[in-house]
Amino acid sequence: MYNLILTGKLEPGTNPRDALAGLAKLLKVDDAKAREIVRNAPVCIRRNTDAAMAERVVAAMKAIGIRIQLEPVAAAPAADGLAGTGVGTGVGTGVGTGEVASTAGAANAVSVAKTTNSAASAKPARPEQPSTSLKVIAGGKPAAANPVDKAQTPDSQQTAQAPHTPAAPESFKGFRYQLSGQPDYCFISVEIPAGETIKVEASAMASMTTNMLMKTRAKGGLSRFMSGESVFINEFTADTVPGEIGIAPGSPGDVKHLYLDNEEVFLQNSAFVASGMGVVAESKWQGFTKGFFSGESLFLIRCSGQGDLWFNTYGAMIEIDVAGDYVVDTGNIVGFTSGLDYDIQSVGGYKSLFFSGEGLVCRFRGHGKVWIQTRSVPAFASWANWYRPVKKK
């Protein structure tokens, strides 16, 4: 008999959002409850389960990319910290040692596993490498594994590793969102869990559900004003129930999403669109030399912290991995990571500077990423100026 422990870890190559959606479907709970279950991981989702049933549950969870650990009941009962007491529907609650601790949600998960794995229901499929895919824990200490395959001999058993207990698994962090209209007129739809808040650039909100509450706050002061950004930023909070917000950036073009994990990204002015509350967006002085002579703003937007970040471009967006030196026209830079340094240089001599139409460029050095836009506002304005009607005197 085994206790089934949801570890909160993912199989390699698994999309975190797909895994979370699959878990919610298996346990018959909403996304918010599934996220809560994962945040409390490791957590016991079923107790005193026979080997055949345990294999089917493990197979169903592995199909959606979520790892399950097997804890032999005879070796040690599941610790209170792993029992997941009070987590909610779909997770086993603490009961007596000899009783089965499974709720309707866990039963439904098994029934779904039977449906999606009909062949496995008739004859449970054995994992090819049970000792590596399933780790056995005993009271939080390394213990000899008891593989599900009863045909294995004691000589083939391996020592399992002690479980790792993440406070909040990185794979499941961040808002669920969808980008549409790429790359010309990108639109962002973000699902906001109940009680959560998102920061959005002024005038960027296009639509939202009726339960979203908005507050406007002044951020950045004079430096934000000098960078060309609005000194105000809007905060949208989902009140009591989950909500959704639609965000439309001001310029026509693409949108990039990043999840910052205590990292820094620098953006050109007007590129910031929205972020989670854990991200701090502030103006950074780049100096007269880099700012004035580049033809861009004297300020950059420095985004740091932990959470979601969205920024936009004029035109399509291209991501470039820099290892060494790389040159980008100043009008095409959207943002770059903190591992890069840069200088403003001319492409050639004075003739090139004044007559080539290229002007100044930015030379990046180091290792990191640069995001560039395929169109430039000054270049477009210069092109359109030739077609501007002029009143003849």
What's the average model confidence in pLDDT over 236-263? 92
Cβ proximity of 308 and 177 under 8 Å = yes
Is the alpha carbon torsion for 109, 115, 116, 122 positive or negative?
positive
| Band of pLDDT at residue 111, cut at 50, 70 and 90 | very low
Give the percent of the chain with pLDDT over 70. 64
Q: Supply the DSSP symbol for 313.
A: -
Distances in Å between the Cα of 140 and the Cα atoms of 38, 74, 82, 96 are 19, 15, 10, 20
| Band of pLDDT at residue 274, cut at 50, 70 and 90 | very high
Start-end of CATH 3.60.160.10 domains in the chain: 175-385
pLDDT at residue 127 is higher than 60:
no
307: left (phi over 0), alpha (psi -120 to 50) or beta: left
pLDDT in tens, 334-381: 999 988 988 888 765 544 444 444 567 888 999 999 999 998 877 788
Spell out the residues 6+ positions from residue 12 whose beta carbon is closer than 8 angstroms to its own: none
Beta strands in the chain (DSSP E): 2-10, 43-49, 66-72, 176-180, 187-192, 197-201, 205-208, 212-218, 232-238, 243-247, 255-267, 272-276, 279-285, 299-312, 317-329, 333-337, 340-346, 360-373
pLDDT at residue 174 is higher than 80:
yes
- Return the structure tokens found at 384: 């359109």
What's the average model confidence in pLDDT over 149-169? 38
| Band of pLDDT at residue 382, cut at 50, 70 and 90 | confident
| Band of pLDDT at residue 104, cut at 50, 70 and 90 | very low
Task: Estimate the crossing angle of helix 16-27 against helix 31-39, to 10 degrees.
Answer: 110
pTM of structure: 0.53
**CA pair distance 331, 334, nearest whole angstrom:** 8
Cβ proximity of 270 and 250 under 8 Å = yes
What's the average model confidence in pLDDT over 25-36? 82
**CA pair distance 31, 38, nearest whole angstrom:** 11
What pLDDT is recorded for position 50?
86
The gap between the terminal CA atoms of the chain, to the nearest Å, is: 95
Mind spelling out the 3-state secondary structure of 18-79?
HHHHHHHHHHCCCHHHHHHHHHCCCEEEEEEECHHHHHHHHHHHHHCCEEEEEEECCCCCCC
- Amino acid in position 238: A
What's the average model confidence in pLDDT over 234-251? 93
Superfamily classification of domain 175-385 = Mitochondrial biogenesis AIM24 (3.60.160.10)
pLDDT at residue 215 is higher than 80:
yes
pLDDT at residue 311 is higher than 90:
yes
What pLDDT is recorded for position 103?
35
| Band of pLDDT at residue 330, cut at 50, 70 and 90 | confident
